[in-house]
Structure 1
Amino acid sequence: MTFFTVKYKKGSDLMKALKNKSLLADLALLLVAIIWGGGFIAVKDSVNLIPPFYQMTIRFFLSTVIMAIIFNKNLRKATRADFKMGTIIGIFLFLGFALQTVGIVYTTASKSAFLTATYVVLVPFLNWAIFKLKPDKFSIIGAILCLIGISFLTLQGGLNFNGGDILTILCGIGFAGQIITIGLYTKKTDPIILTIIQFGVAAILSFIMAIFFEPVPQFETKLILPIAYMVIFSTTLCFIIQNVAQKYTSSTHAAIILSLESLFGSLFSVLIFGDKFTFSMIVGCIFIFIAIITTETKLSFIFKNNNSEDLLADKELEVASGENIE
């Protein structure tokens, strides 16, 4: 699955095409952030009726079934290497959700939202440490500005650490690992295959945790719509988009854009539930907006980047494209 097909004539045409693909990928990830932000509203009441690990089991199992039916031809082509890569992504996905689920029991929702979003800063540095992919200064600045903005959006009563907060920070590492491995592996194989496998792995691990640590929930009809939103939109659709889009953009770009989930969640809460839009939320939005502009444009409209920075940006796009072009 690709966004479009292009023919390359010269080096400049190649870079223009890659930048166009990167822009489309970033816009696709923005859609994911919007849907995930709406997910806070859609599943607001379901968390009180379905234990967390059973909820994870339902969303990932049903998403696996849907994906396997729709993309059965893709799945039949899966290799042993695909299952290995998909399993690694699925483990990171499960760890992110599981640690967040346990951590939120011992901390506040606002602190959980902020600490989870620390992956936006972790991704570029983990990429640097593990894969020697040094991020450009604009990506680092954008990541830090984005985290500051999220803090204004989510933290109202300060940040005092406890055990739950530590678990939530670890969950941020889990999500960072998921974003990084998606960015790495989708350039090597079919993103659809990886999506199906990671869902299956996350479903199995969630079910194991559920049967050992949670009571069996009783189903209520009012859960149908929240579960449908969670399975169809927040999980199946969003992770397909994420896995495909990250083939054409960098992990740092993906982390910053996906972190807008907290921004859209706050905005939807204001619009739908009438939550108060505070001054700190306005400040947070401004910081996040500046972060996105910094990362996407590298502030080229203010000053010209030197040739080495342009080459670094071009190299990043070449790596993000995952294509070998002669």
Structure 2
Amino acid sequence: MQTKTLKSDSLLLVAAFFWGTTFVAQRKGMDHLGPMTYNALRFLLGAVTLAPLILWPHLRLAGTRTGTPRLLLWGGLAAGAALFAGASLQQMGLQYTTAGKAGFITSLYVVLVPLMGLFLGHRCGPWLWLGVGLTVAGLYLLSVNESFTIAKGDLLVLSSAFFWAIHVQVIGYLAKRGDPLRLACAQFLVCSALSFLVALLGEPIGADAIRAATIPILYGGVLSAGVAFTLQVICQRTSPPAHAAIIMSLETVFAAVAGWLILHERMGLRGLAGCALMLAGLMVVQLPPLLGSRRKPLVPPVDMATLAERPPYHDPVC
């Protein structure tokens, strides 16, 4: 394996670690803050972290357009609104479910993106339907109980996955027309502003609470949004798509392990089997087309949490 590829894969693994373990930070942050307040501060900090990097030309991908001010405005509003919807539902769901379950359920957007692509005229193969079957079976084992109902938190996170998928479609369009760093800052600011507005309507916001939640806010804003995003932008130049597909899927595993180690969450054999099926489904959807063909993916490969393309379909943030 080439040194550049090994280095890129290693840094992508670090990024996946930050993204996965941020689910724990999101839960810990709500020990002191409401979900909207936490998101507002987290995404504001993410925008502040990325802002200085806009002036660093080495982070700009070859062939990337700077984009017009109009694109930055309307693109930031559209992507920020979709990000706000997905992040809000996910954050509210984390009040009632575990970090590990939330990580796996959120990852369903990887399957939903190509399914939505069918309505836009994209083609799909048998691997997609096999992946859908595996993820649905996994979701059943993970979230559906004996009375055939799904818990409130799991349902909220599942709803967020639909908005993450919409977000991917939006930024799949924008990422080809503008600078990912500028667009990322714009959408983070929009998401933060919308979160602040909702927080003002129904959540207490105090300086003491914010200070108590400083570490979770810093982790979610600086490491997950700023550092991990920057690593992705740098590494996607040299990391093979098949490698990235496997590494990015490990975000779900990091979420479950971090929840177990830090929050002492337990899933049981049924839940673990569900996670295994869902992870297999994600791999089936992503890997075979990349390994068997050099054509571009049928659906644009874009990150759920930022505006950079993350091969093959992968979200930050979130």
Which residue is equivalent to 2:312? none
CA contact (8 A) 1:102 1:167 kept: yes
Which structure is larger by alpha-carbon Rg, 1 or 2?
1
Which residue is equivalent to 1:298? 288
Which residue is equivalent to 2:306? none
**1:225-261 CA distance string (max 9 Å, x none):** 2221111112223445567888999xxx999976654
Map residues 181-200 of structure 1 onto 2, 5 A cutoff. 181-200=170-189
CA distance in 2, matches of 1:143, 1:244: 31
Shift of 1:216: 1.6
Which residue is equivalent to 1:49? 32
Residue number among 199, 212, 216 corresponding to 2:201 in the alignment = 212
Which residue is equivalent to 2:50? 67
Which residue is equivalent to 1:80? 70
Which residue is equivalent to 1:180? 169
Whichever residue aligns with residue 122 of structure 1, its letter is L
CA contact (8 A) 1:117 1:147 kept: no
**1:172-209 CA distance string (max 9 Å, x none):** 22111112222332122211111111111101111111
Shift of 1:86: 2.4
Shift of 1:37: 2.0
CA contact (8 A) 2:260 2:266 kept: yes
Whichever residue aligns with residue 198 of structure 2, its letter is M
Q: Which region of structure 1 is more displaced relative to structure 2, 66-75 or 40-49? A: 66-75
TM-score between both structures, scaled by the size of structure 1: 0.69
Which residue is equivalent to 1:138? 127
Residue number among 219, 232, 243 corresponding to 1:229 in the alignment = 219
**1:277-311 CA distance string (max 9 Å, x none):** 7323542454245335534542999xxx7xxxx4x
Distance 1:299-1:259 versus aligned 2 partners, 3 A rule: closer
Which residue is equivalent to 1:12? none
Whichever residue aligns with residue 40 of structure 1, its letter is F
CA distance in 2, matches of 1:217, 1:248: 45
CA distance in 1, matches of 2:143, 2:154: 13
Whichever residue aligns with residue 81 of structure 2, its letter is I
Q: Which region of structure 1 is more displaced relative to structure 2, 166-175 or 193-202? A: 166-175
Corresponding pairs, count: 288
TM-score between both structures, scaled by the size of structure 2: 0.70
Distance 1:35-1:112 versus aligned 2 partners, 3 A rule: closer
Distance 1:276-1:229 versus aligned 2 partners, 3 A rule: same
CA distance in 1, matches of 2:93, 2:260: 25
User: Is 1:280 the counterpart of 2:263 in the alignment?
Assistant: no
Shift of 1:56: 0.9
**1:71-99 CA distance string (max 9 Å, x none):** 24779975211322222111110011123
Distance 1:201-1:275 versus aligned 2 partners, 3 A rule: closer
CA distance in 2, matches of 1:274, 1:255: 28
Unmatched runs of 5 consecutive residues or more in structure 1: 5-19
Residue number among 225, 238, 253 corresponding to 1:263 in the alignment = 253
Q: Which region of structure 1 is more displaced relative to structure 2, 270-279 or 60-69? A: 270-279
Residue number among 272, 285, 295 corresponding to 1:314 in the alignment = 295
Unmatched runs of 5 consecutive residues or more in structure 2: 61-65, 303-308, 310-318
Whichever residue aligns with residue 133 of structure 1, its letter is H
CA distance in 1, matches of 2:281, 2:187: 30
Distance 1:274-1:205 versus aligned 2 partners, 3 A rule: closer
Distance 1:182-1:245 versus aligned 2 partners, 3 A rule: farther
